[in-house]
């Protein structure tokens, strides 16, 4: 438990609430071409940035606990940083360090899983995203595990490889799969049998989150575990054929199984060991539940549940302790802003639609499920549409705004936080026109909330967790020029950006308690102390400094 916050005598708390608006995936672009945020008609945000204190914040790399400033930020680490007011080493960095030092391979779980397959002469399975996106996984982690498995005497390894096309180029699969197949060929021997056994696009199978579409997990289970589905002789044949037939980008490639003759080469059987090598939790929980839940599992008919030793790369839910076994210990994030506010008697309201509900609650609270106080906290989830986001680019902006406006006017809550997913979820589709539409819908919603905030004498803080919609075209890294496809159209970029994000302070009843110019050079972790100060408290001494200059 934390102590209550001290009252800040230098700042007079406003009559209305502090409303924190997180525009997921909205940053300031580096390039004019492909910057949807700059291109969209956002009259309200433009005016807010012009007439109110505003400063860019870092939202990638070391500013959010990632290994290097070449690493793009993501929604998980972004909400961690915003919510806890400090920067913790995050999944990618923790896993890399654990592998580089050998700590992961010296741990009890790795030894247990590898010993299991050696004793039973069975198979070690590795499932995850095959790319170097470093948001959910990294191909180097997978390679290191395979090499070590061979060194440790494992005889048979099967990889279940998900195509990315979201944190990396939208049609870059061959850039990863073909060299990886060569890597496996170099390791293969009479005593070491290793191969890719199945795959499919990450937005089609396996990697659902927040219970949005369990059918994705069902398809993954049937593909990876049961070996059911369309089969091919090689991954190159599978990806090429399915891409040509469907016209899909990598994240949407249908599932496939690799066969030897008519037999799938990598079904999961009793006595096997199975590792999910993705380190990020949100899209790992459902497939983990499918393995670990017994007779109570009711999401779909699993048909057959092999008895395996299962482990995740990390603990994906620290409260529920899921999975039961994991290879690397996640960061222990404590003393989050919401915990301090609860201890200080502040009533809080959190809302988003399904796609980002866990971010505004679980990740914001330091990877903690549930509330700090049932009496002081309210969570609201608006169900997301179950269709491609480019077909409904406005997503649930209106519904979220309706709810927030009613809550502001009700006067019950001191702190309201919300996430608009548009810039990120639609940004990942690579559909430039749809992203423009999504941001204009976002702008209208912020305008509606602004009026409500002003009417009750509150404050609105507008920021983001990372960039995405601000960098929608691939650019040549050396020249900075747009990369074009054969048909003359710009090549879409579907991954997050390395760009800074806005921080706008809308305080219509401000009395000059802080300077109009905000502090520069800070990261999004500064938002916690900022909100705490605007609520009339003194931020914890070890929190990263607020953007306010009082």
| Catalytic residue set | 75
Give Cβ neighbours of residue 295 (< 8 Å, ≥ 6 apart). Answer: none
Spell out where 414-465 has E strands. Answer: 415-420, 459-463
Whether 268 and 191 have beta carbons less than 8 Å apart is answered as no
H or E element that contains 439: helix 432-456
Spell out where 89-182 has E strands. Answer: 124-129, 156-163
Task: Give me the DSSP letters along 487-550.
Answer: TSSBPB--S--S--EEEEEE-TT--SSS-SSPPPS-BTTHHHHHHHHHTTBPPPTTSPPPS---
> DSSP label at 47?
H
Q: How far apart are the first and last CA of the chain?
A: 29
Q: How many helices (H) and strands (E) does the chain have?
A: 17, 16
Q: Quick one: which of 205, 240, 244 has its CA closest to 225?
A: 205
Q: Please, what is the angle between helix 173-187 and helix 235-246, to 10°? A: 170
Q: Quick one: which of 8, 11, 276, 267 has its CA closest to 128?
A: 276
Compute the C-alpha angle 206/253/129, nearest 5°: 45
Q: Is 415 helix (H, G, I), strand (E, B) or coil?
A: strand
Range list of H helices, 307-371? 337-343, 354-358
Token representation of residue 60: 């990638």
Rg (CA), the chain: 24
Spell out where 277-383 has E strands. Answer: 309-314, 326-328, 348-353, 377-382
What is the phi/psi pair of residue 193, to 5°? -105, 110
Give Cβ neighbours of residue 451 (< 8 Å, ≥ 6 apart). Answer: none
Whether 277 and 137 have beta carbons less than 8 Å apart is answered as yes
């Amino acid at each position: 438990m934390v102590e209550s916050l001290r009252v800040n005598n230098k700042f007079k708390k406003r009559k209305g609430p502090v409303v924190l608006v997180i525009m997921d995936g909205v940053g300031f672009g580096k390039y004019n071409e492909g910057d949807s945020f700059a291109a969209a008609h956002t009259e309200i945000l433009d005016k807010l940035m012009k007439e109110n204190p505003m400063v860019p914040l870092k939202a990638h790399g070391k500013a959010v606990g990632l290994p290097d400033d070449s690493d793009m930020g993501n929604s998980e680490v972004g909400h961690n940083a915003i919510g806890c007011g400090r920067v913790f080493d995050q999944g990618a960095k923790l896993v890399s360090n654990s592998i580089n030092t050998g700590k992961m391979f010296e741990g009890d779980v790795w030894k247990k899983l590898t010993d299991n397959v050696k004793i039973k002469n069975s198979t070690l399975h590795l499932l995850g995203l095959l790319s170097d996106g470093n948001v959910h996984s990294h191909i180097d982690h997978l390679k290191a595990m395979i090499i070590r498995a061979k060194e440790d005497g494992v005889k048979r390894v099967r990889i279940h490889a998900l195509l990315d096309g979201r944190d990396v180029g939208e049609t870059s699969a061959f850039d990863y799969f073909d060299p990886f197949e060569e890597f496996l060929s170099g390791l293969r021997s009479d005593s070491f049998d290793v191969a890719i056994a199945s795959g499919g696009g990450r937005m089609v199978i396996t990697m659902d989150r927040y219970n949005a579409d369990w059918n994705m997990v069902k398809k993954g289970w049937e593909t990876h575990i049961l070996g059911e589905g369309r089969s091919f002789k090689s991954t190159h044949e599978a990806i090429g054929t399915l891409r040509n037939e469907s016209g899909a980008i990598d994240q949407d490639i249908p599932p496939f199984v690799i066969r030897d003759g008519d037999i799938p080469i990598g079904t999961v059987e009793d006595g096997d060991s199975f590792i999910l090598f993705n380190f990020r939790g949100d899209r790992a929980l459902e497939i983990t539940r499918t393995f670990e839940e017994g007779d109570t599992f009711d999401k779909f008919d699993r048909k057959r549940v092999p008895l395996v030793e299962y482990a995740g790369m990390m603990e994906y839910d620290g409260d529920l302790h899921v999975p039961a076994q994991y290879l690397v210990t996640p960061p222990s994030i404590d003393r989050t802003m919401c915990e301090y506010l609860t201890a200080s008697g502040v009533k809080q309201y959190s809302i988003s639609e399904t796609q980002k509900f866990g971010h505004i609650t679980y990740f914001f609270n330091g990877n903690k499920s549930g509330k700090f106080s049932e009496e002081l906290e309210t969570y609201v989830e608006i169900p997301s549409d179950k269709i491609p986001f480019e077909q409904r680019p406005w997503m649930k902006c209106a519904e979220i705004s309706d709810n927030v406006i009613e809550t502001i006017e009700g006067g019950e809550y001191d702190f309201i936080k919300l996430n608009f997913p548009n810039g990120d979820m639609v940004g990942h589709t690579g559909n430039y026109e749809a992203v423009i539409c999504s941001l204009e819908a976002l702008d209208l919603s912020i305008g509606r909330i602004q009026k409500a905030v002003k009417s009750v004498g509150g404050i609105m803080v507008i920021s983001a967790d990372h960039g995405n919609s601000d960098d929608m075209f691939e650019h040549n890294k050396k020249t900075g020029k747009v990369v074009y496809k054969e048909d003359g159209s710009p090549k879409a970029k579907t991954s997050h950006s390395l760009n800074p994000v806005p921080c706008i302070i809308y305080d219509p009843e401000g009395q000059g308690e802080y300077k109009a110019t905000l502090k520069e050079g800070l990261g999004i972790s500064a938002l916690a102390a900022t909100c705490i100060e605007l609520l009339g408290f003194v931020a914890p001494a070890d929190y990263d400094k607020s953007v306010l200059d009082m």
